[in-house]
Structure 1
Amino acid sequence: MTDSYPEAAVPTDWNDFVARMNEQFFDAMEKNMEAQAEFVEQWSQTVDGEGMGEMNFGDGVEGYKRAYEAWMEAADQMVERASDSMEGEDVEFEEFRDIWLNTANKAFKEVMDTTAFAAWTGSSVGQMLEMQQQADEAAEDTLHTLGFATEGDVEEIGDRLVELERRQHAVEQKLDRVLEHLEE
């Protein structure tokens, strides 16, 4: 053993080292599969809970299928590249990261491109806008109770001022015509 490597950094048994590497790799792969399953379950509950039509639901299932296929292709690539690495090929860690990042983007796109996702998003946005309107109404009621002017009050005053200016302008025009007739 050389002085350039600390004793703890040099594996004492190559087989133990490779076994630990394999174990870590398969643990990471298992966690990824669990995350995928959780994603599909959550998405399924969301779409099912929205009461989607058969067409939207079928489209959503197709999107899941394409996303799942993307994950399976990534798992195959990971196994292939891990095998290449174990056979001595120089495989950069970033390549493994890139496989999962690119797959996550592709899988998310597959789901987002479905009419089910669009319907769910539209429903969610509608619910959020409704909740915002209720919150605005509650805030306005609270401000009224406390004696403060609200946005609605200011808009009403603005509308009244515009109407007053319009009437004043009409009165001024009539007055100008009366004065013209008197001067003649």
Structure 2
Amino acid sequence: MGDRCGWVGDDPIYEAYHDTEWGVPEWDSRALWEKLILDGFQAGLSWITILKKRDNFRAAFQGFDPNVIAGWGEAEVQRCLADPGIIRHRGKIEATIGNARVWKEIEAEQGFDRYLWGHVGGRPIQNRFESLSEVPTETEISRAISKDLKKRGFKFCGPTIVYAFMEAVGMVNDHIVTCPCHEPVRKLG
């Protein structure tokens, strides 16, 4: 594929993620929660580290079913801390359990998907950046989502994490205009 977004590099895992997932609008509540949790685990690390461990995360966290994880306790935290296939960070593991409980509240109240997409009017924001240097690390919208999630008790959801999440799940199209994925992703919006 031609001139992909500059962050991709030449790792086949990154290329596949960029070409088939990143920026594609995600509408499923559970899948949105999984991606937000993985973005939280990425804090302080590179995204490729998370991508390479994603299947291990899915196994350790029982398919990222927040209804199951919300009921977890110390035994499950210990099991995850002993799993070399994931990022073994107590704070992030415990946050995942608490975040599952917050997800359940938002899901029952209005749907986690509707809650998130409501911040962008239900449609992806179509940016037209010509270079990576133009792409922000956070925006007014990511700050608002972060603030509201934190108020509800969600953790590892700062405005930079939330913006990276918004890019990943297609709430914003930040493929640069010369990237072969920009136009196909725009049409999905």
Q: Would the TM-score normalized by the shorter structure come out above 0.5?
A: no
Which gives a bigger RCO, structure 1 or 2 (Cα 8 Å, sep 6+)? 2
Higher radius of gyration, 1 or 2: 1
Instruction: Give TM-score, length-normalised by structure 2.
Output: 0.24
Instruction: Give TM-score, length-normalised by structure 1.
Output: 0.25
More helix by share: 1
